[in-house]
Amino acid sequence: MDLFISDLHLDDSRPQICELLLRYLAGPARDAERLFILGDLFEFWIGDDYPNPLADQVAAGLADLKASGTRLYFMPGNRDFLVGADYCGRAGLEPLAEPVTVTLGHQSAVLCHGDALCTGDEAYQAFRAKVRAPGWIEAFLAQPLAQRLEFARYAREESARQNAGKAAEIMDVTPSEVVRLLREQGVDLLIHGHTHRPGLHDVDVDGRSCQRVVLGDWYEQGSVLVFDHDRLTLQQLEHQPPHC
């Protein structure tokens, strides 16, 4: 069995998501051969050197799962593309660069976070190209933590402000990009997150019937894609009611 998750947006302000993840890692996830995390595990990440007790707890939970025999893979999202080798090492995560093709039973699937497919969002793609450039990353990580934290705060605020004015289609994947990726990779299945619009979609690629599976976020409940016995199922995990 393989599992796919994304868009947990773990943050101190939402402790119930972290609790749900840790319970899942210590429970049902133990039966999995592989766990794929397809980005935005964290709400934001400004460098492995940022003291972060929540991330330490998650690393311990992941490392325990790895020790029990599950292989763990991490693909960066637009919020946590600065997760580095130090954190991956501590958590037992094998980094994956997107897009990547993996074998699932009798078929192959291409995996990505999903933001690169939103090509109609030109402002975001311009921002993405800037902040993913190795020179920009190096300069950013060389800044003091307080300055990095301030930039992340500003970028999140500005992003939320700009998002409020963007049309719904702009915030979703561009259909022709989905077709292009499936054609380029020569596979029938695409799995991604980012849009927070969970679902299974049929896609026609030059007469081939393909599928696009979108993972959901973890705000209201956990979203897990399970691949088992050649079947894909999108599962929901309930949060624990808050303690009184």
Tokens of 73: 């893979």
Q: What are phi and psi of 137, to 5 degrees?
A: -65, -45
Site string for Mn ion, 175-214 (x = CB under 5 A): -------------------x--------------------
* 203 vs 116: CA distance, rounded Å: 18
SS3 for 223? strand
**Residue 131 interacts with, from Mn ion, ligand LP5, none (CB under 5-8 Å by kind):** ligand LP5
Transcribe 204-238 into DSSP letters: EETTEEEEEEE---SSSSEEEEEEETTEEEEEEEP
Transcribe 18-44 into DSSP letters: HHHHHHHHHTGGGG-SEEEE-S-SBS-
CA angle 134, 11, 136 (to 5 degrees): 10
**Residue 10 interacts with, from ligand LP5, Mn ion, none (CB under 5-8 Å by kind):** none
**Residue 147 interacts with, from ligand LP5, Mn ion, none (CB under 5-8 Å by kind):** none
Site residues (vs ligand LP5, CB under 6 A): 44, 46, 78-79, 82, 115, 118, 121, 123-124, 127, 130-131, 140, 151-152, 155-156, 158-159, 162-163, 166, 171
* 29 vs 1: CA distance, rounded Å: 9
Radius of gyration in angstroms for the set of CA atoms belonging to the chain, rounded to a whole number: 18
Out of 3, 38, 40, 116, which residue is the one contacting Mn ion (CB under 5 A)?
40
* 98 vs 127: CA distance, rounded Å: 18
* 35 vs 41: CA distance, rounded Å: 13
* 242 vs 244: CA distance, rounded Å: 6
Give least dist CB 40 to Mn ion, A. 4
**Cβ closest to Mn ion, residue 40 vs residue 98:** 40
Give least dist CB 9 to Mn ion, A. 8
Give least dist CB 125 to ligand LP5, A. 9
**Cβ closest to Mn ion, residue 70 vs residue 194:** 194
Out of 47, 61, 76, 77, which residue is the one contacting Mn ion (CB under 5 A)?
77
End-to-end C-alpha distance for the chain, whole angstroms: 37
**Residue 118 interacts with, from Mn ion, ligand LP5, none (CB under 5-8 Å by kind):** ligand LP5
For residue 102, what are the β-bridge partners? 109
Give least dist CB 80 to Mn ion, A. 9
Give least dist CB 68 to Mn ion, A. 29
Give least dist CB 115 to Mn ion, A. 5
Residues within the interface to Mn ion (CB under 5 A): 40, 77-78, 194
